[in-house]
Structure formats: C-alpha cells, structure tokens
C-alpha cells in the first residue's frame, strides 16, 4: 500500500500521500492541503518544494551525482558528445546510428537564418546586451515557424532541432553584431561546435582554423550544461510552458532567467573577480585572505546543490588542463585562476566548508582561453542548456499539467477605505 502521512492542523487534518522517486527521493503530496485545511506552505526560493515529477535528470548533491536518463555524467562526458546528449534528454534514449544521422541532418538543414530574420539584427545597437538580443531573437524565430512545436511528434522533433540549431547561429551572429563584423553563413556539412566557432571567428577572406582540442572543450562545456534539473531557468521554462505558451516563448523566458549573475552569469563573475585581483595588484594569496576576512566574495567556488565537489567541475578541470597546455595562451588572469585553485584546494578554510571550484570556475577559464569574450559567456551557457529546456517543456506538455499558480502569504495592509486627494496627508 502507498504510504500516507496525516497532518493535523487544529481541528482539521489532511492525508498526504508519500511520493517516492526511483532514486529514493521522498515528498509529501500536499495538493489537498489548502482545500482541506486552509493552510499553504511557505517556502521562499522553493528549496524544499518539489514542483514536478521528472524522468530527465537526477542530482544527488551530497554524493556529487549527476545523471541524465540514468546515465552518469562522467560516462557521457567520456563517451558521448553534445548532440547525442541533446537527443537523449529530449527523446528519452540514446539514438541509434540512423536516428543520430537524421537528427544531425536536421540540425544542419535548420542552421541558416531567413534573410528577413537577419534584418532584425540591424535594429539592435551594437552595444546591446547579448542575452537581451538572444531572448528577443528566439522569440523572433517563432515568427518564422508556423508549427511552433504545437503539432505531432514529428513536427516537435523538427522544431526542437530547428531551435537548437538556430540558437547556435543566433549566438554567433550576436557576437558578429556586437563587433561590427559581417555575418558568416553556416556550413551544414560541419559538426555543430565547429560550425559555431567558424561563424563566430572567421574573418573576411580567411576561414577560422578549427582545432580539435578547442572544439572538444567547447562541446564538453555544452554537454555539461545541457540540463541540471529544476534550476531557476528550467523552472521558468516550465512555469511559462504551463500556460500552453509555445516552445520558443518558453525558452526565451528561460534565457531571461539565465541572464542573472546568480545563475548563468556566474562564470562572468569569476572573470570579473580575476580582473579585480589583477588590476588591484593583489596576489591570489592576498585575495583569499580577504575572502576569509569576509571583505570580498570568492566566485566560482561552492554550489547551491552540490555539498561535495561539483562532478562537472572535475571533468572540466581535466579539459582545462589539456586546452591550456595545447593552446599555450599567456594570460595573467588565467595564471591567477590556477593559483586560486591550487591554494584553495589545500587550504582547510575552504576545504572544511566544501568550497571547491565549480563548473563556472573552469568553464570561464576555458572560454577565455579559446577567445570567447566575457559578455558572450552566458550566451554559450544558453546554447548548451537549450536541449534541457526543450526536454523539460516536452515532458510537461506530454503530462498536460495544470497552469502553475503559486500561492502567497499576504503581509500588506488590512482593508482600508479610499481617501480623496484633499484628505490625504
């Protein structure tokens, strides 16, 4: 029999079924709480609220587990790539060779932007915030898609590939726009990441030389960011999608949530911190002492969910070592970053508090090393997270859930009468 917990509230009571996940996660089903007792829960930031059931991603922050559809992130990082993981997230299984080929062909066929679409870029100022442009252009993309993923499974599959592919092209074009460079047409024959780098960095008359170490590192960054359970932006996609908003509108809202420095902008904060250390003439040792004295903040260390080492950070650390060694970039900020890492990992102050480098620390280092400007970091995060948003939107659509409508605890004035202006003080 299913377990039931009874909550007594004064003279009233409510029976709450215990919902159990496949990994042993337990939750009280409080859907009847308000109707039967008049009470609601109070959970600021929703840290103790399970807003949905999901079969996509599992995280155990205490043990440092991250799995997509049951497969550990370590195995996916070693044996798979971003496109295969995107397929896994969205369609619930690893693709066969034919399914992978068809999905890749769809991505290549949908990479180009309509000529009318490109003209929208001309309306933006060159110093426009890249994430503002990205959100606007994803919404604009819906104007060029008559189905907007509202049809059958085949139409959805096409729309999903279209959005993943065009988000990459839009991201590259935003970089070109902000740097006043001519746009580079996508090459449908190139792999996803190589095509992105080519569109970003090619110059007139010279094609960008794609290095395997660079494409592998960026593919890994995209893969490691592809989904991360019910975070702020993913919850936003689900919230907006619950109103039956289409795929593009829901994911554009996710971009806006990701924009914040406490979410997708965290790796930007890392580079800004390194810049402050460098320009201030401080050493890494001096900065860490100020952190201990609570005079400054240490960005890129610790995580809201992981109480141990972020498993994605372990993977990216190895990649960053390889990329930096191969590229041989000389950058004082990267030197400071490596020094901070080395010192913090053997300092009991940070180790005892489990303040280990997180994925934002290493992703920022890698992206800076391969030439991605800081203002584009969060755009790349959005490109990587797009498959997860699509998967979450689809899962919710398939379950036909009710529109999300949180409650509140009102703390404003009690009933008062309207005063004419001449009586107001």
**Which residues are identified as catalytic?**
303, 360
Rounded-to-integer distance, Cα 2 and Cα 184, Å: 59
**Is there a contact between 267 and 363 (Cβ–Cβ < 8 Å)?**
yes
Encoded tokens for 59: 């995280």
In this structure, the number of other CB atoms found within 10 A of the CB of residue 320 comes to 25
Rounded-to-integer distance, Cα 253 and Cα 3, Å: 38
**Alpha-carbon distances of 73 from 65, 80, 118, 363, 385, rounded to whole Å:** 8, 10, 37, 16, 15
Residue with tokens 């009280």: 28
In this structure, the number of other CB atoms found within 10 A of the CB of residue 182 comes to 8
Half-sphere exposure of 294 (CA within 13 A, CB side): 0
Torsion of CA 204, 209, 210, 212, to 10 degrees: -170
Torsion of CA 149, 244, 166, 256, to 10 degrees: -170
Rounded-to-integer distance, Cα 344 and Cα 340, Å: 6
Burial of 189 (0-12, 13-18, 19+ CB in 10 A): exposed
Burial 125-148 (b: 16+ CB within 10 A, else e): eeeebbbebbbbbbbbbbeebebb
- For residue 279, give every residue at least 6 positions away whose Cβ sits within 8 Å of its Cβ, in sequence order, or none: none
Phi-psi region of 192 (alpha: psi -120 to 50; beta: other; left: phi over 0): alpha
Burial 398-412 (b: 16+ CB within 10 A, else e): eeeeeeeeeeeeeee
Q: Which of 316, 303, 216 is nearest to 266 (CA)?
A: 303
Q: How far is CA 341 from the centre of its chain?
A: 23
Encoded tokens for 411: 């703390």
């Amino acid at each position: 029999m299913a377990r039931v917990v009874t909550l007594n509230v004064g003279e009233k009571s409510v029976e709450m079924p215990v919902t159990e996940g496949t990994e042993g996660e337990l939750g009280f089903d409080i859907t009847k709480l308000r109707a039967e007792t008049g009470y609601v829960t109070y959970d600021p930031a929703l840290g103790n609220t399970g807003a949905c059931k999901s079969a996509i991603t599992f995280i155990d922050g205490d043990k440092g587990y991250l799995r997509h559809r049951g497969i550990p992130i370590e195995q996916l990082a070693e044996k798979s790539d971003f496109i295969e993981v995107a397929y896994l997230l969205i369609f619930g299984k690893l693709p066969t060779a034919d399914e992978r080929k068809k999905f890749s062909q769809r991505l290549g066929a949908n990479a180009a932007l309509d000529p009318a679409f490109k003209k929208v870029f001309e309306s933006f100022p060159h110093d426009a915030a890249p994430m503002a442009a990205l959100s606007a252009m994803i919404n604009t993309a819906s104007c060029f898609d008559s189905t907007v993923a509202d049809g059958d499974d085949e139409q959805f599959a096409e729309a999903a590939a279209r959005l993943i592919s065009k988000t990459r092209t839009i991201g590259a074009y935003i970089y070109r726009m902000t740097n006043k460079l001519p746009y580079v047409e996508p090459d449908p024959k190139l792999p996803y990441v190589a095509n992105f780098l080519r569109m970003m960095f090619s110059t007139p008359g010279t094609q960008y030389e794609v290095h395997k170490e660079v494409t592998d590192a960026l593919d890994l960054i995209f893969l490691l960011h592809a989904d991360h359970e019910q975070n702020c932006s993913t919850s936003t996609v689900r919230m907006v999608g619950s109103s039956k908003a289409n795929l593009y509108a829901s994911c554009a809202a996710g971009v806006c949530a990701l924009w914040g420095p406490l979410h997708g902008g965290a790796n930007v904060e890392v580079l800004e911190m390194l810049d402050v250390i460098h320009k201030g003439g401080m050493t890494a040792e001096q900065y860490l002492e100020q952190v201990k004295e609570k005079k400054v903040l240490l960005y890129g260390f610790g995580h809201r969910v992981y109480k141990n080492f972020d498993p994605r950070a372990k993977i990216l650390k190895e990649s960053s070592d390889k990329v930096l060694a191969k590229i041989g970039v000389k950058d004082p900020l990267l030197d400071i970053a490596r020094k901070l890492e080395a010192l913090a990992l053997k300092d009991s102050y940070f180790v005892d508090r489990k303040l280990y480098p997180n994925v934002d620390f290493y992703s920022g280092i890698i992206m800076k090393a391969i030439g991605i400007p800081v203002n584009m970091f969060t755009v790349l995060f959005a490109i990587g997270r797009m498959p997860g948003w699509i998967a979450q939107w689809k899962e919710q659509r398939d379950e036909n859930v009710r529109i999300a409508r949180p409650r509140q605890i009102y703390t404003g004035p009690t009933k008062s009468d309207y005063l004419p202006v001449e009586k107001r003080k």
